[in-house]
């Protein structure tokens, strides 16, 4: 979503800018200004985009009780826990 909004704003901004200044288009610093805006918009919209895609994920795959169960056979490995025998080997 960040990329779509950025591209739409970039294309709309450049189109309006070129249309208004058509006979004598000053490209120098304006191109860098549009590029800077194009680079910062995804950073500003990141929290909203993350929330939206998480909501879509939850709508498509609802949360179930088994998602919160800790099972030995679920295939996931907790990389934060170290076995007692391996704790001192990397020192």
pLDDT in the model for residue 59: 93
Domain boundaries, the chain: 2-61
Dump the DSSP string for 12-80: HHHHHHHHHT-TT---HHHHHHHHHHHHHHHHHHHHHHHHHHHHHHHHHS---GGGG---TTS----TT
pTM beyond 0.85: the answer is no
**Please, what is the average pLDDT of the chain?**
77
Residue-wise pLDDT tens digits, 38-82: 788 888 888 888 888 889 999 998 888 877 776 665 555 555 555
Do 26 and 18 form a contact (C-beta atoms < 8 A)? no
pLDDT in the model for residue 71: 60
């Amino acid at each position: 979503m960040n990329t779509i909004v950025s591209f739409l704003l970039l294309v709309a901004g450049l189109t309006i800018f070129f249309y208004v200044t058509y006979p004598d288009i000053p490209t120098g610093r304006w191109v860098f200004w549009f590029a800077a805006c194009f680079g910062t918009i995804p950073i500003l919209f990141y929290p909203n985009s993350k929330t939206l895609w998480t909501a879509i994920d939850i709508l498509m795959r609802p949360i179930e009780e088994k998602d919160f169960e800790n099972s030995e056979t679920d295939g996931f490995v907790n990389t934060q826990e170290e076995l007692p025998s391996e704790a001192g080997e990397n020192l």
